[in-house]
Structure 1
Amino acid sequence: MPGNSLFKAAAASTLSVTLACLLSGCAPGSAVQATASRPQAAGPFATIAQIAEVDARFQSYNVEMVEVTGGRFWAPYGGPADEVYRMRGPADLTDTKLRALARALGPVYMRVSGTWANSTYIPAEGETLAEPPEGFNQVLTREQWRGVVDFSRAVEAQIVTSFPVSPGARDAEGVWRTQQAQRLLDLTREAGGQIAAAEFYNEPNASMVGGLPKGYDASDYARDFAIFDKWVRKAAPQMIVLGPGSVGEGALASAPVNGVSGLIRSQDMLAANPGRLDAVSYHFYGEVSQRCGARRGTSAQKAEALSPEWLDLTLREHDYYAGLRDRFEPGDPMWVTETAQAACGGSPWAASFLDSFRYVNQLGLLAQKGVKVVMHNTLAASDYALIDGDTLVPRPNYWVAVLWRRVMGTGVLAPPETSAEDLRLYAHCLAGAPGGVGLVAINLGDEARTVPTGTPTQVWTLQAASLDSGAVTVNGHSPGLAEDGTLTGLNPISSGDTIAVPGKTIVFAALPEAGNSACLKGPA
């Protein structure tokens, strides 16, 4: 983990200096190294049990395939009332500012997929095209994919993707062929990268809107997945096979795909090829944004953004897919490979501090459930992005992501008790500090709350002038990016043995001297 690898053991005389440096993003080699013995148990978090372990790349993100190729993506708000999509050019993945911001989130998985990936054509070496071949909707140039690989290496991201399955990727009988998938795999290797994990294709339960042949059903999927599985085991045996990658089945009465004819159920897909996945993946959006609300009849409501019902919808979807996992893929880990505030690019407040409460809460709840990886959609495209794609200004959720990366390690601790219903608290082993505990508190109410820690504590308090603001402060300072590519304005402050959590704030806290026995096994 950047900025934390030098933290080995905490000495009383150097601990606060070391931790402040490491968690504020000091350059490697600049931290003070402590060498004293591990801290003794202290405070109410000393004995809290570990209940789960997440991936070191737990908090990850998506870069949509349509961002790479250019094409129709979710239109910005403020245009014509009925505008859903707008054309955009390919993203500049060579931009030094974007790379610096992305690097601060690493290590991560970077998923390059989405609906458009289902019908994207990869040309052969030397092949020049004026337009996509029949059966495809867009072209991913070889140079564009080399750019993806180069970006991934520069920002410490492992690539996750899916493969073309539209009519152009099939034979005359409509059976899926491996040629395009093999071409993408070979191109990745030629560029010096590898595909760490992949879903067969994007959101197979919604095939009717994903570029699949008309009438495509569960039996077709079962046949094609068997071909895919055989190909993977031979061509890329090290690649993690994820699936099914479906969306919105937890409560079909209110899911984004509800009412669309031709829906394929994940349970049918999994039943046809049981035990063939390395991890069970799914996508989650609690609702659609206003862009798609007219089609759907409902959309996410701002007034509900801090309600327990909205915040806990992520559990509904998890429990549904966990049940399928237990039936058809027992023992497999679970990944959420796409999620954000709302489908269809996010609501107008997805880019504001208001959505950060959902973001933190979702990460905390899913970690407690043992979900290994959560991939936010997107890094830098549309309203739900961590970074404004046009200005490259980090949004509130970006700073949440940075602090989560620095404070919350891979060991997940049992839910701590809180003093009020509107205060939610999540605890992990402290990143890089054996025996230490990392906390994040979200205060949904207006009344200030306190959390006793019983041990020296350092905090980062995120606040905004209003919940609608697209900017936050951390301990009263505006975080930013320096010219040398380092993050600024993230220094922690000491709070003694109590954490103050003002109303409508998010507070991260480090308890390096907690002495938690479950966290003594080494860096989390």
Structure 2
Amino acid sequence: MTRVVLLLFWVLCDRTDGLHIRGDRDFNGTLSGAPDVVADVDLSAVIRLVDPRFLSVTIDASLASEEKFMYLLGSPKIRTLAKALTPGFLRFGGTRQDFMVFTPRRSHLPDSGFPAGNGSNSLSAPSCDELELPSWLEERLTEEWTRHQPVLLKEDLQRKYRRVKFTEFTVDLLHAFANCSGLDLIFGLNALLRTADNSWNSSNARSLLQYCQSRRYRMNWELGNEPNSYEKKAGVRVDGVQLGLDFTRLREMMSESKLYQDAGLYGPDVGQPREHRVDILEGFLKTGAEAVDACTWHHYYVNGRDTSLDDFLDPEVLDSLAVKTKEVMEKVQLVSPGKTVWLGETSSAYGGGALGLSDTFVAGFMWLDKLGLGATLGLDVVMRQVFVGSGSYHLVDDELDPLPDYWLSVLYKRLVGPEVLKVEAFCAPGRSRRVRLYLHCSNTNSYSRGAVTLMSMNLSEKPVSVSAPALVSSSTVEAFVLQAERPGEEGLYSRSVKLNGDVLKMVDDKTLPDLTGTRLPPAERLRLPAFSLAFFVFTDARAAACRRRHGDLR
């Protein structure tokens, strides 16, 4: 399995005594004095690889809280946006998956005014054309979805969740959307259906698997979401050992099917380590590690209800991911050596995100840093909560328009390849850590082998410069610099983003803008504007490590 690996620097130099560099290279071609950061890179060897689907996305199960909202997946705009995020997984899950019950029926919602789609008696899956939603219906549904979200928020705050019945209709649309978009679907099953002895009641899941098999739906599976919170949400406590047995039961069911015997099964989707959550993970690994293809856990930096702008720019907050990741990795490797570990759900702030922060430009610092640090630490896949769904941490807003983190994700997909190279950074002592850099081989779908991509972040209100002599010897550099629509701290709250000075927006519902870089003039340094995110592609680097094909470097 191919994997992307990123190497992280935590450096910012406000002084550069004793350094002599001739000039900066930035996307405006300006020159200045000595650099703030000097990076030494090794282009001869790859450190690590992650899955090509490393950056993946989720659809929150709240979208199925009323089945009519699943029609939103038929929006031409949504499908266009999803296609740009391939290859990747599409996880359908979240809190409400454990309150969803499959209720087969061969008819759609009465008096809904919605198109019949594939028909109530047809066993054929809807085609990509049939999936397309009329504009009038899209407008109506987005308005209703906006009004419905406060209801979902109230349920989350009160932790009072109603049982949600879903039919073949939800499954049909999910699979068709993933299939037409080119994403690999992971469906989250309800783990709160329990028997008298508190083991998992698998009968409803069996019914769903049988239906999916009858349609020949190729898909992967999960069981339960954040079992550590079952007691608070539903008054049910499931220990890790029992959870592992439940997964083993699901794997046995899957093995009975020719279609699903080799499908992926992932779990236990436990929250980040804290108190008994560690016990649940340890118990699960003892009885269920062999049943899953990857061990999944969830991570959020802060509480969305009491966080601040400063948190989103705080290096210590960003660094906290390393502590939690290492703890999980150690637990997994101790019990199940070699088992891959995923972030099965993650974003900036839990509790649905931080309104005015998680859906604005400033959230990009947490997102890009998580991609970099997560891969460096050995995570194979990172699933962003949420592509579409309730809350404030989505990639696509309630009008189905892309937010800043969406554009950042698309650039990552296009520019960043699966290999990471070694790099060391040198700067004046005693400085803070507000410049964070990662170096990769470039995506070979966009660039020739040997090209490298430097991902850069400047969390400071002042511009900084970076010198990487082994890279800037190449005269060809393409810069992709992301900044808020407005300058300064005020711009960090913007829901729009500029690429090399131009605001990004869709050309129409089926067309993304040209995401082209700016060719930089020859110089010895790169310049990062204040509060900016950037990708610099060195097209002529001829990195030996990037010119070879790589196997698994676990």
**TM-score interval w.r.t. the shorter chain?**
0.7 to 0.9
Match of 1:471 among 496, 499, 507: 496
Partner amino acid, structure 2, of 1:205: N
Match of 2:181 among 135, 152, 155: 155
1:92 aligns with 2:115: no
Q: Secondary structure at the match of 1:287?
A: strand
- Compute the displacement of 1:438 (Å): 1.2
Q: Which structure 1 residue ranges, 5 or more long, are not aligned?
A: 1-42, 72-87, 291-298
CA distance in 2, matches of 1:338, 1:287: 14
Aligned counterpart, 1:56: 52
- Quote the sequence identity (%): 25
- Verify the 8 A CA contact 1:69 1:90 in the aligned structure 2: no
**Cα 1:219–1:96 shift into 2, 3 Å:** same
- Compute the displacement of 1:173 (Å): 4.1
Aligned counterpart, 1:25: none
CA distance in 2, matches of 1:415, 1:90: 45
1:227 aligns with 2:249: yes
Higher RCO (C-alpha under 8 Å, 6+ residues apart): 2
Q: Secondary structure at the match of 2:208?
A: helix
- Compute the displacement of 1:496 (Å): 3.3
Aligned counterpart, 1:517: 544
Residue by residue over 1:262-292, the C-alpha shift from the partner in whole angstroms, topping out at 9 and shown as x without a partner, is x9621122223444432111110122211xx
- Compute the displacement of 1:215 (Å): 4.2
- Verify the 8 A CA contact 1:356 1:397 in the aligned structure 2: yes
- Verify the 8 A CA contact 1:459 1:492 in the aligned structure 2: yes
TM-score (norm 2): 0.74
CA distance in 1, matches of 2:542, 2:242: 55
Partner amino acid, structure 2, of 1:514: A
**Cα 1:273–1:487 shift into 2, 3 Å:** closer
Matches within 5 A, 1:367-378: 367-378=375-386
Runs of 4+ in 1 over 6 A off after TM superposition: 127-130
Aligned counterpart, 1:194: 218
- Compute the displacement of 1:512 (Å): 1.8
CA distance in 1, matches of 2:369, 2:196: 48
Q: Which moved more, 1:117-126 or 1:137-146?
A: 117-126
**Cα 1:427–1:165 shift into 2, 3 Å:** same
Aligned counterpart, 1:81: none
CA distance in 1, matches of 2:197, 2:41: 61
**Cα 1:129–1:112 shift into 2, 3 Å:** same
Match of 1:305 among 308, 312, 317: 312
**Cα 1:102–1:274 shift into 2, 3 Å:** closer
TM-score (norm 1): 0.78
**Cα 1:210–1:227 shift into 2, 3 Å:** farther
CA distance in 2, matches of 1:393, 1:273: 40
CA distance in 2, matches of 1:277, 1:51: 26
**Cα 1:413–1:441 shift into 2, 3 Å:** same
Q: Secondary structure at the match of 1:360?
A: helix
Aligned counterpart, 1:185: 209
- Verify the 8 A CA contact 1:246 1:283 in the aligned structure 2: yes
Partner amino acid, structure 1, of 2:507: A
1:494 aligns with 2:519: yes
Aligned counterpart, 1:248: 272
Q: Secondary structure at the match of 1:399?
A: helix
RMSD (Å), alpha carbons:
2.7
Match of 2:464 among 449, 472, 494: 449
- Compute the displacement of 1:422 (Å): 2.1
Q: Secondary structure at the match of 1:265?
A: helix
- Compute the displacement of 1:351 (Å): 0.8
Q: Which moved more, 1:235-244 or 1:54-63?
A: 235-244
- Compute the displacement of 1:487 (Å): 1.5
CA distance in 1, matches of 2:435, 2:224: 39
Q: Secondary structure at the match of 1:118?
A: helix
- Verify the 8 A CA contact 2:85 2:410 in the aligned structure 1: yes
Q: Secondary structure at the match of 1:480?
A: coil
- Verify the 8 A CA contact 1:66 1:90 in the aligned structure 2: no
- Verify the 8 A CA contact 1:149 1:192 in the aligned structure 2: no
- Compute the displacement of 1:124 (Å): 2.8
Partner amino acid, structure 2, of 1:462: L
Aligned counterpart, 1:354: 362
1:423 aligns with 2:435: yes
- Verify the 8 A CA contact 1:477 1:489 in the aligned structure 2: no
Aligned residues: 440
Partner amino acid, structure 2, of 1:278: D
CA distance in 2, matches of 1:91, 1:208: 33
Residue by residue over 1:66-112, the C-alpha shift from the partner in whole angstroms, topping out at 9 and shown as x without a partner, is 213438xxxxxxxxxxxxxxxx9446100001111111111210000
1:207 aligns with 2:250: no
- Verify the 8 A CA contact 2:247 2:291 in the aligned structure 1: no
CA distance in 2, matches of 1:479, 1:128: 38
Partner amino acid, structure 2, of 1:454: S
1:47 aligns with 2:62: no
Aligned counterpart, 2:480: 460
**Cα 1:286–1:65 shift into 2, 3 Å:** same
Residue by residue over 1:228-260, the C-alpha shift from the partner in whole angstroms, topping out at 9 and shown as x without a partner, is 2322333322122222210021x55xxxx99xx
- Compute the displacement of 1:407 (Å): 0.6
Matches within 5 A, 1:235-384: 235=257, 236-249=260-273, 251-252=274-275, 265-290=280-305, 299-348=306-355, 349-381=357-389, 382-384=391-393
- Compute the displacement of 1:148 (Å): 0.4
